Amino acid sequence: MLPATAEFIGTAILVTLGDGVVANVLLNKTKGQNSGWIVITAGWALGVAVAVYSVFAISGAHLNPAVTLGLASIGQFAWTDVPGYLLAQVAGGFLGGVIVWLAYLPHWRETTEPGPKLAVFCTGPAIRHSGMNLLTEIIGTMVLVLGVLAIFSPQNLVPNSGFKTGFGPFLVGILVWSIGLSLGGPTGYAINPARDLGPRLAHFFLPVAGKGGSDWPYAWIPVLGPILGGSIGAWIYKLLWPA
C-alpha cells in the first residue's frame, strides 16, 4: 500500500470514530445522547489511537497536515511527499464525515437544531473571538506535535522493548485526550486541519436534513492555527532534543 493511501484510510478511520462519538452524544434519540464532554474526548482519544495503529507501519500515521508540515519544517519528512499526504488526509477526513452521516442517518431528521449537526462534522468556538480562537488552536497543536515527537523520540525508547510500535500510538491517544480535557473548551480542539476541513466539506455537500450553514467564516482558524502550532511544536522539539 502506498503511504498516501494509508494516510487516506487512517484519517478516514480517525474521523469516523471521532466524529462518530460526537454524533452519539449530540444527536437526538441515540443511545449516548447527552453523555457529555468526557465521552467525546475519550472517544476521540481512542479513535486516534486506533487510526495510528492501523497505518503507522505504512505511512508513519501523520493523519494531520500539522504533523506533516511540522516534520517537514525540521527536516524529518521530505517536502516532495507533503502535497500527497495533505490531499490524502483531507480526502480521508471527507470520507470519515460521509461514513458518520450514513451511520446516523435516521437521527439527523430527529435533531431539529442545525448547530449540533454541524458540530458533529467540525469544530466551532464557545466564544467567537478570532484572535483568541486562533491562539487556542496554535497552543493545542503545539502541544500535540511536540508530544508526538517526544513520544517517538529514540531517547524515550527502551531498547528491544517494542515500545515504538507497541505503546506509541496508545500514548498519542492519551496525549489527544489530555489536550481535549485541558485545552479543548474554547474551540473544540480541532488541532488538525484535515479533521476539520474534510468533514466540513462533507457537511457542505451532503444532504443532511435541516443542516444549516457550514460556518465558512470560521473555517480558516482550525486550518491556520494547527499549521502554525504544529510548526512551533516541531521546532521546540528540535531545540529540546537535538540530533
Report helix angle 114-121 to 193-205, nearest 10. 130
Confidence at residue 158, expressed as pLDDT on a 0 to 100 scale:
62
Q: Which one of 3.40.47.10, 2.30.110.10, 1.20.1080.10, 1.20.1440.130 gives the CATH number of domain 3-240?
A: 1.20.1080.10
* Mean pLDDT along residues 158-174: 74
* Mean pLDDT along residues 211-223: 98
* Mean pLDDT, the chain, integer: 95
* Mean pLDDT along residues 187-206: 98
Confidence at residue 156, expressed as pLDDT on a 0 to 100 scale:
72
Confidence at residue 25, expressed as pLDDT on a 0 to 100 scale:
98
What length does the chain have?
A: 243
Confidence at residue 220, expressed as pLDDT on a 0 to 100 scale:
98
Whether 118 and 203 have beta carbons less than 8 Å apart is answered as yes
| Distance in angstroms (rounded) separating the CA atoms of residues 120 and 93 | 13
5, pLDDT greater than 80: yes
| Distance in angstroms (rounded) separating the CA atoms of residues 166 and 146 | 20
**Dihedral (Cα; 81, 231, 169, 25), 10-degree rounding:** -110
Q: Is the pTM of this model over 0.85?
A: yes
Region for 131 from its dihedrals, namely left if φ exceeds 0, alpha if ψ lies in -120 to 50, beta otherwise: alpha
* Mean pLDDT along residues 153-159: 71
Instruction: Tell me the domain boundaries of the chain.
Output: 3-240
Convert the pLDDT of each residue in 229-240 to its tens digit: 999 999 999 998
Whether 163 and 157 have beta carbons less than 8 Å apart is answered as yes
Extract the C-alpha cell encoding 37. Answer: 464532554
163, pLDDT greater than 70: no
